[in-house]
Structure 1
Amino acid sequence: MLLKPIERVEEISNDNFQKLHLQQKEPVILRNFVKGSAALTKWDYDYFKKVAGHHKVNLYGREDAFNDHATSPPVQKATFGEYLDMISSAPSELRLFLFNLLKIEPELKKDLVYNDPTGGKIVSWLPFMFFGGEGSSVRYHYDIDMSHIFLTQFKGVKRVLLFSQEQTPLLYKLPYNFHGVANLNNPADERYPALKYLKGWECDLQPGETLYIPSGYWHYIKYVTEGYSVSLRMLNESPMERLRGFRNIVITRRIDNTMRRLFNGRWLKYKLNQADNAANKAIEKLSKNSA
């Protein structure tokens, strides 16, 4: 696996962001995206427990717990305050996924300021929050709506790996799903030989930094420490990519759910076999090209 570091920029003009990153689908870390936000100093676990600790939340577990599902189901429930106590006291695999805290407690939105390099195209009214314990991770996937993502870290450190859509055959993607099943922490695993051919990007995302993830990019996220982030989206400018996202949500995911109900384990076995076949063909093609 060949990974290169993601560039960090202190400031960038709208024109340069458009030319160098949006158009080129080149990830970048923006260091001033939330500069001036009260959240950088005001938000902490005690504050969250005070304003929203009583809310019930769904908790999600290990990244590989539900490989046969397009979306992993929650493994338990707790109050938000109880969850924050869990992750602040010990390492935990439990995560909060797409937590809409800023809708539940809209006053928190006032604590955020966005220095938008897209010229106002970011959907700032729909922020989601992600919380995770030290050592927890998110299975690698790409977002099915094909939007661009702006992921801002507010507490803790996240290890992020990114891969373009061109790398899909090497990632053991399951058909009719948007995730893969290999262990990216062990690229030398003989079970998944295609991993050693992967090319992508890597970073350790620090508090106050925002990672731009281009539309359709695979991302694997591991919580180096416990912490949380805020994610914003920018709709894809391509009508074809928006249509693809709509198809993923409305058609592809429903086909997978139906087939899983009808055939259960046989459906997963078929998908795993197809993922292996695609990876082996990609290896063969790369080997021929390098010969």
Structure 2
Amino acid sequence: MIETTPVERVGAVAADAFLQQYKAVAQPVILEEVTREWPARERWTTDYFRKVAGDAVVPLYDSRPARGNEHQHAASLRMPLAEYLDRLAEGERDLRLFFFNLFAARPALARDFEFPEIGLRLFRKLPVLFMGGKDARVQMHFDIDRPDILLCHFGGPKRVLLVAPEYTAYMYHVPFSFSALASVDFENPDYERHPGLRHVRGHLAELRHGDVLYIPPGFWHYVLYDDVSFSMALRAFPRDFPNASRMLTNLLVTRTIEGTMRKLIGQPWNDRNERRAVERTERFLARHHAS
């Protein structure tokens, strides 16, 4: 894997200490005590979700990059949650549940957790679920809305590789997207093919059932499922000008251009952006790391 340091783990932390020690300096941290009193800590298993929401139809995503005129974030297929859980039990490792508001379909689930009082003004209408099977992977990306994220984890172990936004120039960022080039392997980096990765330093979070990972705004993240597991993301939208401005640009300009050009041009647009991801990184390396 690219060079990383472990994400710090802490127990109980007061809101003012969290804001000063982690939020203010954009430092990821694993909070071990946030979910301690939540009913979800005991209840939330795949069997529980099967029982209370098995008939809910959920969108699923695979690891294949969108091609042609396909929408960048289009679901691969939809099926009842119970059927998806059956597939996970049978070894499915590609299809993932992504950014799904199960609580809109099953409001009673909201009684299983509390929004933590940690100093973040969390958006209460959009707790979303992510789920995957053993050995599933999520492509390196950052979130379009630049939020502070509390990723509340349940089930088997999961690892999250985090990279601060100051390394973006080395990340083979695909223009008009929020992802790195799909062919770039952050687990087993090929430094000859992708030399930019030599300069990237990351943080590795190893999550266990009940952990909460704080992801600062703009951080890249790559997810490795070591077993069947799921996480709920709570989000606080940006209130400072730099992140709020980037959020609006991403939502109103970048995403609009990307969607329009995919429809009008299709695969040549995708190919052009993938080439530019490599070209821009190589130009940056040539300017800043010439021997």
Q: TM-score, normalised by structure 2?
A: 0.92
What residue is the counterpart of 2:268 in the other structure?
266
For 2:194 and 2:164, the matched residues in 1 are separated by 19
1:126 is aligned to 2:123: no
| Paired residue type of 2:62 | G
Paired residues of 1:87 and 1:133 also in contact (CA < 8 A): yes
For 2:108 and 2:226, the matched residues in 1 are separated by 29
For 1:223 and 1:210, the matched residues in 2 are separated by 16
- Range moving further from structure 2, 134-143 or 71-80: 71-80
1:72 is aligned to 2:73: yes
For 1:285 and 1:19, the matched residues in 2 are separated by 36
SS for the counterpart of 2:289 is helix
Unaligned residue ranges in structure 1 (runs of 5+): none
SS for the counterpart of 2:127 is strand
For 1:84 and 1:189, the matched residues in 2 are separated by 38
- Pairwise mapping of residues 1-291 of structure 1 onto structure 2 (< 5 A)? 1-62=2-63, 64-66=64-66, 71-118=72-119, 121-181=121-181, 182-188=184-190, 190-288=192-290
| Number of residues of Structure 1 aligned to a counterpart in Structure 2 | 287
Cα shift at 1:263: 2.2
C-alpha spacing 1:70/1:24, structure 2 compared with 1 (3 Å): farther
Paired residues of 1:102 and 1:108 also in contact (CA < 8 A): yes
Cα shift at 1:262: 2.2
For 2:147 and 2:236, the matched residues in 1 are separated by 6
C-alpha spacing 1:206/1:217, structure 2 compared with 1 (3 Å): same
Paired residues of 2:173 and 2:180 also in contact (CA < 8 A): yes
For 2:171 and 2:242, the matched residues in 1 are separated by 24
SS for the counterpart of 1:87 is helix
| Paired residue type of 2:172 | Y
Cα shift at 1:279: 1.3
User: What RMSD in Å do the two structures reach over aligned CA positions?
Assistant: 1.8
Paired residues of 1:36 and 1:113 also in contact (CA < 8 A): no
C-alpha spacing 1:31/1:285, structure 2 compared with 1 (3 Å): farther
SS for the counterpart of 1:29 is strand
Paired residues of 1:173 and 1:179 also in contact (CA < 8 A): yes
SS for the counterpart of 1:160 is strand
Cα shift at 1:67: 6.8
For 2:207 and 2:90, the matched residues in 1 are separated by 22
SS for the counterpart of 2:65 is coil
For 2:3 and 2:286, the matched residues in 1 are separated by 18
Cα shift at 1:75: 1.4
Paired residues of 2:71 and 2:262 also in contact (CA < 8 A): no
C-alpha spacing 1:35/1:70, structure 2 compared with 1 (3 Å): farther
| Paired residue type of 2:211 | E
C-alpha spacing 1:269/1:89, structure 2 compared with 1 (3 Å): closer
| Paired residue type of 1:58 | P
| Paired residue type of 1:217 | F
| Paired residue type of 2:180 | G
SS for the counterpart of 1:124 is coil
Unaligned residue ranges in structure 2 (runs of 5+): none
